[in-house]
Amino acid sequence: MSRRTARTGALLLAGLLLALYGITGVAAAQENDDLKVDFRETTPGKGKIGITVAMSGDAWDPSLQPTQDDFSAAINGSPVDITGAAPVGEQQGGASTQLAVVLAVDTSGSMVGEQIVQARAAADEFARLMKPGARLGLVAFSDTPRVVQPLTSDHEQVRAAVSTLVAEGDTALNDAIVLSSGLLAREEGQRNLVVLSDGADDGSRVELPAAIKAAKNAKVFVDTVSLNSPGGVQDPEALRKLSKGTGGQAFEVSNADALVAQFSSISRALASQYVVEMTLPPGLAKRVDLKLEVQANNAVGSYHNTSFVLPLRASPATIPVVPGELPSAPGLSRLESPQGRY
C-alpha cells in the first residue's frame, strides 16, 4: 500500500468517525432539549416512593397526558415497578401535592414605564397558563410588601388584581419573601414563590439570610427572575442565593420584553408536574442510582441521579443505619435533599 493510499484511507476513516461522533452528539443534545425531566421532590411511603418531576422542552405540551405506562424507572440498574403516575394534585390521595403559587412582583419606582407594563403582562400570562385548581396569590413590593390578592383557585381574580399594579417607591424585597412565605405556610401541598425584581433590596426590615430562613421554614420553593435594566442597581447574586437556598431556580432576562416568555416557561413547568410512584426493592442503602424515563410525543426524556437520597420513611425496613452514624433527615425535606430541584 502506498503512503498516499494509506494517508487517504486514514483521512477517510477519521472523517467517518468524526461524522458519526457529530451525529451522535447532536442526537443526544436534541433528545435532552426536546423533552426535559427535572426532579422536584419526593413523597415517602412504606415500601414505595413518589417522585415528583416537571416536564418541559420542545417536545412537551401541557395538554399531553402520559400514563404510568409511559414511565419507567431503574434503581441501581435494575427495573422497578411503576405503580402510578398522575399530574400533581390529581393522583389518588394526592391532597398533599396540591399546587400553591404566590407571585411577588417588584413595583418600585425603577419599574415605572414599560417595565411595569411588561411585568403586568408577564404575571397575567403566568396566571392564564396555570393549571385549573392550582391556588394563586399576588404580592407587590415597593416601600413595603402588600398582599394584592390572597391565594385563590379563581385565576381570573388574580389576573384582575395584576392589572392594578403600579410602580413607585423603594424595593423591600426581603420583606416580601417573608410575607409571601407566611401566606404559603398556611397552604396544603407544594408551595412555590415566583419573584420578579429589577433591583437590589432597599428598605427591608430583615436581611437576606432571614428571608431565606423564612422560606425554608415554610418549605417554599423560590424561583427568581432578575430583570437587568440599563442604569439600574441590580443584585442578581442575592436572587441566586435566594433560589439556591430554597431549592429553586434563578433566571435572568435582559429586557422587559423577555419577561413574558420567562414567566410563561415557569408557569408551564409548574403546571406540568407529575407524581410517579414506584416500589422499592429490599436491602437498599440510603443512596441509590436512580433513573426515571418518560416517553411523550415521540421523544424520550430522563432524570438520572447516581447518588439519589431515599427518604428514610419510604421503607424503614430496607434502609440500614450504619452503627454510630446518625440517620439523615428524612426526604420529607426537599430543601435538605442533595438531588436539588428543576
- Lowest-confidence range among 4-13, 59-68, 127-136, 163-172? 4-13
Mean pLDDT of the chain: 83
**How is 188-237 classified by DSSP, letter by letter?**
SSEEEEEEEESS--BS-SS-HHHHHHHHHHTTEEEEEEEE--TTS---HH
Q: Is 35 helix (H, G, I), strand (E, B) or coil?
A: coil
Closest residue by Cα to residue 111 from 225, 210, 194, 264:
225
pLDDT of residue 28: 30
In which element (H, E) is residue 99 found? strand 99-106
The CA radius of gyration of the chain, in Å to the nearest whole number, is 23
Q: Tell me: the pLDDT tens digits for 301-333?
A: 999 999 999 987 665 444 444 433 343 433 334
Is residue 106 within 8 Å of 198, Cβ to Cβ? Answer: yes
Average pLDDT over residues 328-339: 44
Split at pLDDT 50, 70, 90, the class of 125 is very high
Split at pLDDT 50, 70, 90, the class of 91 is low
Give CA torsion, residues 73, 77, 78, 83, to 10 deg: -10
Is residue 202 within 8 Å of 172, Cβ to Cβ? Answer: yes
Longest CA pairwise span in the chain (Å): 83
Average pLDDT over residues 199-223: 95
Q: How far apart are CA 84 and CA 54, in angstroms?
A: 16
Residue type, 263: F
Cα 92 to Cα 89, 269, 293: the distances in Å are 8, 22, 22
C-alpha cell of residue 32: 435532552
